[in-house]
Amino acid sequence: MLRGSLWDKIILFALPLALTGVMQQLLNAADVVTLGKFVGKNAMAAVGNNISMVGLIVSLLMGLSLGANVVIAQSIGAKKFDRAQSAVSTSFSLSIAAGIFFCVVGEILVAPIFYLLEVPELVVDMAESYLRIFLLGLPAMSLYNFEAAIFRSKGDTRTPLIALAAASGVNIVLNLLFVLQFDLGISGVAVATVIANIVSAIILFRALLNSEGVIKLNLNALIVDREELFEILRIGLPAGVQGMVFSLSNLLIQAAINSLGADAMAASAAAFTIEINVFCIVNGFGQAATTFVGQNYGAGNFQRCKRVTWVSMGLSAIFMQTLCCFILFFAEEVLSLFNNDPEVIRLGVIRLWYIVAPELVNVLMEGLSGSLRGYGISLTPAVITLICVCGVRVTWVFTAFAKIPTYATLMAVYPISWFITTIVLVAAYNYHMKRLKPARK
Mean pLDDT of 294-320: 89
Q: Three-state secondary structure along the chain?
A: CCCCCCHHHHHHHHHHHHHHHHHHHHHHHHHHHHHHHHCCHHHHHHHHHHHHHHHHHHHHHHHHHHHHHHHHHHHHHCCCHHHHHHHHHHHHHHHHHHHHHHHHHHHHHHHHHHHHHCCCHHHHHHHHHHHHHHHCCHHHHHHHHHHHHHHHHCCCCHHHHHHHHHHHHHHHHHHHHHHHHCCCHHHHHHHHHHHHHHHHHHHHHHHHHCCCHHHCCCHHHCCCCHHHHHHHHHHHHHHHHHHHHHHHHHHHHHHHHHCCCHHHHHHHHHHHHHHHHHHHHHHHHHHHHHHHHHHHHHCCCHHHHHHHHHHHHHHHHHHHHHHHHHHHHCHHHHHCCCCCCHHHHHHHHHHHHHHCCCCHHHHHHHHHHHHHHHCCCCHHHHHHHHHHHHHHHHHHHHCHHHHCCCHHHHHCHHHHHHHHHHHHHHHHHHHHHHCCCCCCC
Give the pLDDT score at 137.
Answer: 92
Mean pLDDT of 44-72: 77
Give the pLDDT score at 376.
Answer: 84
pLDDT band with cut points at 50, 70 and 90 for residue 74 = confident
Task: Express each pLDDT in 378-434 by its tens digit.
Answer: 888 888 888 888 889 889 999 999 999 999 999 999 999 999 999 999 999 999 988
Is residue 70's pLDDT more than 60?
A: yes
pLDDT band with cut points at 50, 70 and 90 for residue 129 = confident
- Mean pLDDT, the chain, whole residue set: 85
Mean pLDDT of 334-354: 89
Mean pLDDT of 98-109: 90
Task: Express each pLDDT in 18-27 by its tens digit.
Answer: 887 777 766 6
Task: Express each pLDDT in 173-224 by its tens digit.
Answer: 998 899 888 888 888 888 998 999 999 999 999 999 988 778 888 887 778 8
Give the pLDDT score at 328.
Answer: 92
Mean pLDDT of 3-12: 87
